[in-house]
Structure 1
């Protein structure tokens, strides 16, 4: 269970800066009862892997498509570096093949980009709480 006033570290990986900035702002500026968020960003697989190698995160949120690479590819690479890392797949697509690929790669969950803030928070806390 999340502790009162616990800071949750999150890495957001998306090739669209506005998406990364939006999630970061929403989480860091939001008023949440028992936790706060510290968010780092990466716009590509290489930058994401460098950050994962340098520090641990409570959760990594990754897009299903990162330029020429898939989010599933990133998830596999992350889990080779940090096998205990929790990852949440995040996409505008509702294609079940995309969802399956990310879950098979090791994502703990998947959520569509069209959800509202409360649904994203529920997904984050569900994964962190186990």
Structure 2
């Protein structure tokens, strides 16, 4: 089945370039473009649910972080990726707490951006906004992280399944919760562990 990917940015040249990158890394995808939030909502409300929405943070109609959180709730089955020139860790953290699946900086190279989009679509909760690497999550304990043993029982269950290589949809089925709820748990446990990818979290689990 052909998947739908919406690329939403109000700058036509960047939107076109990003669409080409998406088409290259996800061959066969139906890539649709939007220049404002109304266009996004119109596209999202027609046809089958969009597989992925790639959205500029500074986007007409997207007035604040709560608006982004509401959009997340409106599109529970859609992978939501934010692209932005913003490089303030505090703002990036707020964006991630709104429930998005990943944050990608516009300043990184096209190859890196394509790889980041693929990783997020494959279930990584990823933050990358500079060529130097990943933005470290802020954990709750000394050194910005906590031990696996300090996770909640639900986070521990999710981490165990991540370590088994399960996708968000498979985790949702195993725990009888929604994929959206899984994304929230994954984001919170990565923050707690002080890591930026599922792979790194799995390594912590197997080493605990």
In the alignment, what sits opposite 1:49? 41
Bigger RCO of structures 1 and 2 (CA < 8 A, at least 6 apart): 1
How far does the alpha carbon of each residue in 1:27-77 deviate from its partner, in whole angstroms, 9 at most, with x for none?
A: 33x3x5x84432111111111111112132221111111136347455323
> Paired residue for 2:108, among 105, 109, 115?
115
Structure 2 CA distance for partners of 1:26 and 1:11, relative to 1, 3 Å? same
Structure 2 CA distance for partners of 1:52 and 1:75, relative to 1, 3 Å? farther
After TM superposition, the runs of 4+ consecutive aligned structure 1 residues lying more than 4 A away are: none
Structure 2 CA distance for partners of 1:71 and 1:22, relative to 1, 3 Å? farther
> Given that residues 62 and 68 in structure 2 are in contact (C-alpha distance below 8 angstroms), is that contact kept between their aligned partners in structure 1?
no
The answer to whether the aligner puts 1:93 opposite 2:60 as a matched pair is: no
Structure 2 CA distance for partners of 1:26 and 1:127, relative to 1, 3 Å? closer
In the alignment, what sits opposite 1:3? none
Structure 2 CA distance for partners of 1:96 and 1:125, relative to 1, 3 Å? same
In the alignment, what sits opposite 1:124? 117
In the alignment, what sits opposite 1:18? 13
Q: What are the ranges of 5 or more consecutive residues in structure 1 without an aligned counterpart?
A: 1-5
If each structure's strand is expressed as a fraction of its own residues, which one has the higher value? Answer: 1
Q: Distance in 2 between matches of 1:39 and 1:119?
A: 19
The TM-score with structure 1 as length reference comes to 0.78
Superposition CA RMSD, Å: 2.3
Q: What are the ranges of 5 or more consecutive residues in structure 2 without an aligned counterpart?
A: 124-208
After the TM superposition, which of the residue ranges 87-96 and 50-59 deviates more from structure 2? 50-59
Larger radius of gyration: 2
